[in-house]
Amino acid sequence: MSGGATFVGRVARAMAAAAVLSAIASAALTSGIAWRAAVRDGDRRLDQAAQTLGVEVPAKLTDAEAAAHADDEQLEVAPAGLRIALFAGGRRLGGDASLDPSHARGCRDDRAWRRCSVGIAGGRVVEVAGPRGPLRAQASALAAASLLAALVAGFAGVALSGRVSSRIVRPLRRLRDDVAAVDVANPGASWPAVNDGHAEIDALRDAVGGMLSRLDAALAQSQRFAADAAHELRTPLGALRAELELAAEEPGTPPELRAAQHRATEQVRSLGLLVERLLILAAPDDALRASREAVALCEVVEESLAALGATPRVRTDLDEAAHVRGDAVLLRALVDNLVTNALKFAPDGEVTVRVAADPDAVTVRVEDHGPGFDASERERVFEAFYRSPQARAGGVRGHGLGLALVHRIAAAHGGRACVADVPRGACVVVTLPRWRPSA
């Protein structure tokens, strides 16, 4: 995977941030609610104390009797930390001496105290107060607890976010794997028609599948076009060639005409070869892989040299055990191109064709003593239509297709072609998998 920002990382970070923020928010909310609940609870206790005194002091009691009850009540609630006093018309009747009468009924904060003022029968008022300290302690303990819980949740969120987010992107990974597995030669057919079960991913899959089948159609069309064009050219070229060959057999042709016939035949032959080479370069890989016959490279080289009439300058070293599986016609084209290049670019000197066999691989090595390859062009010479500047300037004929064809045929046979480092001249090595018994 690339070292850049990943989607998983992004999702994980977003999830972690969300976890921490929601933890803090939930802690604040919980402690707020807890605080208010605690206050309400405290108020209810104060109110109850006031109501209890209210029941003990009905309207018919005299102020003195009421005061006695208030004093008793004060003694009773004092251990619980409460203070209670009874007032009538703003005048203290009894109870805690330090409590002042309030102006309004209800509960309010009064410095370190929470106090409630409750009206009872006979126009009397009970003032009751409880310390806020315990309340605050209880609320902050609650807040701390909820904050702790939230933080734990937040950390767990952070810790899990990586794993969870990679789970989330799993469908994306599958999509990536499927995209990576698309066969270049056959894009649409190699797209799995499975659905992922996630609407967004499936939409994406459908879009990719649609694009691939359009690509398929375009590819098929261009291949058909190339094949049709070549076929249309092939037949008249074949006819022309046959015509010239038959004419050359006629007796009594003047020598000049015979020479012209010969040149024309050569032209037509090389034109036909060009069409075939283009067709091979345009063919899909699969089409070149169909044949699995045993081919002895020594036989291919011998036939090639015999056909090229190249024997005098060419030295061979052929291991006859070097067999491959593949197509004799294509391998013949491969050898033809290597030998033709050597003879063409190295106008004199020896050309060596060596066929060797390893346990697993066989090699064809064609070497000459000509100008060789420039270090800068070792890769490029295998591209179609590439010709080196020297070849162009030197007036050597060619289309720049030979080595592209060599490369393609080698690849179709599961092998490769490369330019080897030699002190002098050129050396092209083709390595192919060796023939094995079929399983």
Ligand X SMILES: Nc1ncnc2c1ncn2[C@@H]1O[C@H](COP(=O)(O)OP(=O)(O)OP(=O)(O)O)[C@@H](O)[C@H]1O
Contact status: 237 vs another protein (CB under 8 A): yes
Q: What are phi and psi of 43, to 5 degrees?
A: -60, -40
- By CB under 6 A, tell whether 371 contacts ligand X: yes
Residue 67 CB partners (closer than 8 Å, separation 6+): 86, 93, 94, 95
Residue 207 C-beta: closest distance to Mg ion, Å: 44
Q: Which does 342 bind (CB under 5 to 8 A by kind): Mg ion, another protein, ligand X, none?
A: ligand X
Q: Are 70 and 83 in contact (CB under 8 A)?
A: no
Question: According to the binding rule CB under 5 A, does residue 402 interact with Mg ion?
Answer: yes
323 interacts with another protein by CB under 8 A: yes
CA-to-CA distance for 218 and 210, rounded, in angstroms? 12
Give the count of beta carbons closer than 10 Å to the beta carbon of residue 315. Answer: 11
Q: In the complex with another protein, which residue's Cβ is closer, 39 or 384?
A: 384
With CB under 6 A as the contact rule, the residue among 94, 95, 326, 402 that binds ligand X is 402
Segment near another protein (CB under 8 A), from 77-85, 204-212, 215-223, 275-283? 275-283
Examine residue 231 and tell whether it contacts another protein (CB under 8 A): yes
Question: Which uninterrupted H or E stretch holds 316?
Answer: strand 314-318
Q: How far apart are the first and last CA of the chain?
A: 37
Token pair recorded at residue 165: 């987010």
Assess 327 for contact with another protein (CB under 8 A): yes
C-beta nearest to Mg ion: residue? 402
Residue 373 in contact with ligand X, rule: CB under 6 A: yes
CB of 364 to ligand X, least distance (A): 14
335 near ligand X, judged by CB under 6 A: no
Question: Which DSSP string do the residues of 139-168 spell out, in sequence order?
Answer: HHHHHHHHHHHHHHHHHHHHHHHHHHHHHH
- Can you read off the two tokens belonging to residue 119? 């009206």
Q: Considering beta carbons, is residue 343 or 362 the nearer one to ligand X?
A: 343
Question: Of these, 391, 410, 412, 430, which contacts ligand X (CB under 6 A)?
Answer: 391
CA 29 to chain centre: 41
DSSP 70-130: HHHHHHHHGGGT-EEEEEETTEEEEE-TTPPPPSSSEEEEETTEEEEEEE-GGGEEEEEEE
Residue 280 touches another protein, criterion: CB under 8 A:
yes
Binding site for ligand X (CB under 6 A): 337, 341-342, 345, 368, 370-373, 381, 386-388, 391, 398-404, 426
Binding site for Mg ion (CB under 5 A): 341, 402
Binding site for another protein (CB under 8 A): 230-231, 234-239, 241-243, 245-246, 249, 269, 272, 275-276, 279-280, 283, 286-296, 299, 302, 306, 320, 323, 327-330, 333, 435, 437-438
